[in-house]
Amino acid sequence: MENFIVPTRENVSENNQVLFDNLQKMVGFVPNMYAFFAHSSSALGDYLTLQNRKNSLNNKEKEVINLVVSQLNDCNYCKAAHTAIGKMVGFTEEQTLEIRRATISFNSKLNALVNLTKEIVEHKGETSQEAKENFFNEGYTTENLIDVVMTVGDKIITNYLFAIVKVPIDFPEPQAI
């Protein structure tokens, strides 16, 4: 069995070293999950491109999706990272817990997003007519729907990678729910 090691800047390709430097400047450190992608010469750049693509959803909406998907997939790394990021974009601790429980009392539009996201993940894309109607009735568009699916896919990538390799978590541990 392979022993999975998080690479350091010195152990990655020149291309990935540039990405490490950019992450260091932007985030203040290179998160272990991103560093692990650098075992591949192209995966880190590809993932960052996907994650940072132009998107019709705002930062709070993206974090709602990230938290719901990570909770449903029981990804401890992503729950920790996105709880911290969720607070950075303006959610309180209690709101991040509500989001992870997939029931939001503080915002009906975000609750419709939570319900749709939960159904997408739990039913492998199949969603009820009610979840779709609630989503669209709250003002979301078909473009938003596509971006929800893209964001779910983005988060599944890191959730599954963590499930396989269990990189050390380098964010504060979130409260259990």
Please state the domain extents for the chain.
9-51, 59-165
153: Cβ contacts below 8 Å, ≥ 6 apart: none
**pLDDT of the residue at 3:** 76
Spatial contact of 46 and 52, defined as CB atoms under 8 Å apart: no
Which pair of structure tokens corresponds to residue 134? 């609630």
How far apart CA 22 and CA 96 sit, in angstroms, is 28
Vertex 166 angle, CA 41 and 114, to 5°: 95
Which pair of structure tokens corresponds to residue 112? 């419709």
Which pair of structure tokens corresponds to residue 137? 């009735």
Measured CA distances, 10 to 6, 33, 123, 169, 172 (Å): 12, 17, 42, 21, 26
**pLDDT of the residue at 124:** 96
**pLDDT of the residue at 75:** 98
What fold is seen in the domain 59-165?
AhpD-like (1.20.1290)
Evaluated on CA atoms 67, 69, 72, 75, the torsion sign reads: negative
**pLDDT of the residue at 48:** 98
Please name which of 24, 162, 27 lies closest in space to residue 16, comparing C-alpha atoms. 24
**pLDDT of the residue at 2:** 67
DSSP 53: S
pLDDT tens string, the chain, 177 residues long: the values are 567 999 999 999 999 999 999 999 999 999 999 999 999 999 999 999 999 999 999 999 999 999 999 999 999 999 999 999 999 999 999 999 999 999 999 999 999 999 999 999 999 999 999 999 999 999 999 999 999 999 999 999 999 999 999 999 999 999 999
The pTM of this model reads 0.95
Spatial contact of 17 and 7, defined as CB atoms under 8 Å apart: no
